[in-house]
Structure 1
Amino acid sequence: MPSYLGTIEEKYKTQKYYEEEINGVKVLRIRVPEFSKTDKKSRVKNIVSYFFGAMGATFKVGKMDYVFSISQPPILGGLLGVWGKWVKHAKYIYNIQDFNPEQVLAVGYTKNKLITDAMMWFDKFSCKRSDLVITVGRDLVETVENRFKGKKVPKTVMINNWIDENEIYPLDENNEKVQAFKKKYGLDGKFVIMYSGNIGLYYDLENLIKVVKKIKPGTKTADGREVVFAFVGAGSVLDKLVMYKESNNMDNVVFIPYQDKEDLIYSLNAGDVHWCVNAKGIKGVSCPSKYYGLAAAGKPIIGVLEEGSEVRCLIEDTKGGLCCNPGDYEQIEKDIQWFIENAGNGEVTAMGQRGHDYLIENLTREKSVKKYAEEILGC
């Protein structure tokens, strides 16, 4: 069931399975319990319920040529693919968006070696049983290779994620709905440095907001606009950020709820500069797909990403923003100051335009989906 924020619509609370059709595709949905992103037990209950429900759902569909599973839920997503391959005698494609246990180790979510070793064994098992691993960054391909240390490496290809460039694109700053969004949240007339997405564990946001604190309320850009930092989204770290803002009287920080998909174009266009960040240790483990939406909207980027990571390479190759390493808080502050000092001079706009042009040329939805079709049908 759709439950990204943990809540389930009433229409999905009465049956175990629901059959739907979306754009000609038959969809079988599995009921799961509601959960809180800050409550580990409720999240585990949600994930385990989905896992066993999905195993049962495998028997409710007919003959299959391919089984396609993603790396969510962690570890269990891969095992569902192995299960589907075995039950349906089909080819199995494992799409790895995030590597675990590498991700939980990077942020210290658990330090229990018995648990993390078991997670690694099971996920390597899923990789070995696949006919094709598709992942989303050059550095993530290296992680697959490193997992097997020169032994037989599963067939692996890299295909970039995407945004639908027909849904997200640059809008004029005077667009009526962009202006309405800005007025609603007190951003009109301001220079907006925006973070949009999951306010969760893997982005070092608790330390980044300490850097933001150094930019005092009332600070103005070179062209006279007041600087404001907007955080759009929700997640397990949000309450901590809100408390930090309030205890430090950071009147130049605004928290904004998740926007509906159809309104995302207006919120993204409301930012003058956008954060694209990962915590230290996430290189080769996860790829911040929010980059594609930022580039589609033609926005310059403050990248806090490790050298050699997929998105940092894209930003640096296109000169679409400024990048530094996670944990280099002094350089992060300097990059923020650069945008403040150069607001309105043309180069800031040009950065966003270069990222947008490269995306339209190389990273469109059509191009990436075509690559998926070619690789899957060819495996």
Structure 2
Amino acid sequence: MRSDRSGGPHEPRRGPGQRRRLVLLCEHFYPEMVSTGMHMTELATRLAEHGWDLTVYTARPSWWSERTAGDRVPREMTYAGVRIRRVPTVGSQRGGAASKALAGLSFVLSAAAALVRHPRFDGMIVTTNPPFVGLLGWLSSRLLRRPYLFIVYDVFPEFAISLGALPADSPVARAWHRLTRLILSGAAVIVVIGRDMEDLIRRKLPERLHERIVLIPNWSDERRVRPVPREENPFRREHGLEGRFVVQYAGRLGEKHNIEPLVEAAALLRDTHVLFQFVGDGAKRPRLERLATRLGLANVTFLPYQPLDRLAETLSAADLAVVCLETGHTGISVPSKAYGVMAAGRPILGILDPDGEIGQMVKETGCGVLVEPDAEEIARTIRSLMEDGEALAAMGEAGRRAFLERYTLAHAAAAYDAALRSMLRS
């Protein structure tokens, strides 16, 4: 890539009314509708409706529910008005730490090569998935003078340090801190997804750059997720949930999610009709399955990720939906599955820091209850809520109201559209 200030071959040229061209870099995208992949797919397709011409560079799916079909996903395709180009990678996000690191690094290198081959775009959207991909935004801004909007989903290297994967005082950590500040400082717009995260990012930047930070919470798609009455919900029928009080965790079973106390609480509730249902996959799933087996729990079930067109049914099947995050990750990550739960009108059982973004939101809206990651406290809270249907209904309704007011995909897409237009104007 090279700088071209004089309108040379790398300079985008547009006729009257031509749409502005954006590049989106993210490792996970359609049909990998999991975590960041779902959010980026929803955002990109909705921005296309706002008139943006988007090209996405992504990897082949690792977490797609039809796992064996990953290699059959076309290398290039168009989905809902968004052009998708898959770059080659080695390693896998389903493997160990070394395999994941290799997959992330190879994605960054392959995406860089792709941008060299296709340098005609007006601006870029970059996420923190995988780490270091933001460096391509920084290089683009310096060599091609294309601005980039940087979405912070996880703060690095704090994320790796909090998992115990990296010593806080190591040379690698210090170098990573400097690289993160470089990427943040070069961004025309920095999007954070929580107030606690905004505080952390502000501390990384000089005060003169704070005006570049924009808080845009994550969302759920209001067109896709809605409350499904339990008596009309085929998911409950198919999985034999009639007569059960379903405590559901739906999403990534990752290292940052303190789910073990939930399984331990199931052992304390064997005498009830509570069923603990885990829907999803991730690094912790085998350990949780072994724990449930060791404790002899017949009231715990595990299901794979469900098809996206069944998301409303799946989330609505819960009587109480769990949202959790290790306390050490407060401000570093935001458990955005809360917004889908609110869209489905289900009450939240929050096992997370009350001062984190989702903890604050639960307290402000009254959409759920917060507990410590302690099996006995969790079990007591569930026993109490099982006997209080009015409180559960009120929390679910409060969450649905707050969702429609603040946390829809429409709200988020409008905010991103405004930020991008401001970025390109300046």
Superposition TM-score, scaled by structure 2 size:
0.80
Partner residue, 2:253:
199
Structure 2 CA distance for aligned equivalents of residues 306 and 164 of structure 1:
26
Pairs within 5 Å for 1:28-47: 28-33=85-90, 35=92, 37-47=94-104
Q: How far is 1:151 from its partner? A: 6.9
Pairs within 5 Å for 1:256-295: 256-295=303-342
Structure 2 CA distance for aligned equivalents of residues 181 and 85 of structure 1:
52
Q: How far is 1:180 from its partner? A: 3.5
Pairs within 5 Å for 1:58-69: 58-69=115-126
Task: Report if the CA contact (8 A) 2:233-2:317 is conserved.
Answer: no
Partner residue, 1:178:
235
Moved more, 295-304 or 199-208: 199-208
Q: 1:189 aligns with which of 243, 257, 277?
A: 243
Is 1:105–2:158 an aligned residue pair?
A: no
Q: Residue 148 of structure 2 aligns to which amino acid in structure 1?
A: Y
Pairs within 5 Å for 1:71-150: 71-74=128-131, 76-111=132-167, 113-148=170-205
Task: Report if the CA contact (8 A) 1:196-1:231 is conserved.
Answer: yes
Partner residue, 2:72:
11
Gaps of 5+ in 1: 220-225
Partner residue, 1:323:
370
Distance 1:335 1:116, change over 3 A: farther
Q: Secondary structure of the equivalent of 1:346? A: helix
Q: How far is 1:251 from its partner? A: 1.0
Structure 1 CA distance for aligned equivalents of residues 417 and 256 of structure 2:
31
Distance 1:299 1:71, change over 3 A: same
Cα distance per residue 1:55-77 (max 9 Å; x no partner): 00112224222111001102x12
Q: Secondary structure of the equivalent of 1:236? A: coil
Q: 2:397 aligns with which of 353, 361, 379?
A: 353
Structure 1 CA distance for aligned equivalents of residues 262 and 320 of structure 2:
15
Gaps of 5+ in 2: 1-58
Cα distance per residue 1:304-335 (max 9 Å; x no partner): 1212211112211111110135x455543332
Is 1:218–2:271 an aligned residue pair?
A: yes
Q: How far is 1:281 from its partner? A: 1.5
Cα distance per residue 1:141-181 (max 9 Å; x no partner): 11111223757546101001111111010011112523333
Distance 1:197 1:148, change over 3 A: same
Q: How far is 1:254 from its partner? A: 0.8
Q: Residue 387 of structure 2 aligns to which amino acid in structure 1?
A: E
Q: How far is 1:111 from its partner? A: 2.3
Distance 1:274 1:308, change over 3 A: same
Structure 2 CA distance for aligned equivalents of residues 171 and 240 of structure 1:
32
How many residues align? The count is: 361
Partner residue, 1:248:
295
Q: How far is 1:378 from its partner? A: 1.1
Task: Report if the CA contact (8 A) 2:60-2:73 is conserved.
Answer: no
Q: How far is 1:299 from its partner? A: 0.3
Task: Report if the CA contact (8 A) 1:181-1:267 is conserved.
Answer: no
Superposition TM-score, scaled by structure 1 size:
0.89
Structure 2 CA distance for aligned equivalents of residues 154 and 79 of structure 1:
21
Partner residue, 1:370:
414
Q: Secondary structure of the equivalent of 2:148? A: strand
Partner residue, 1:49:
106
Structure 1 CA distance for aligned equivalents of residues 345 and 268 of structure 2:
27
Q: Residue 163 of structure 1 aligns to which amino acid in structure 2?
A: S
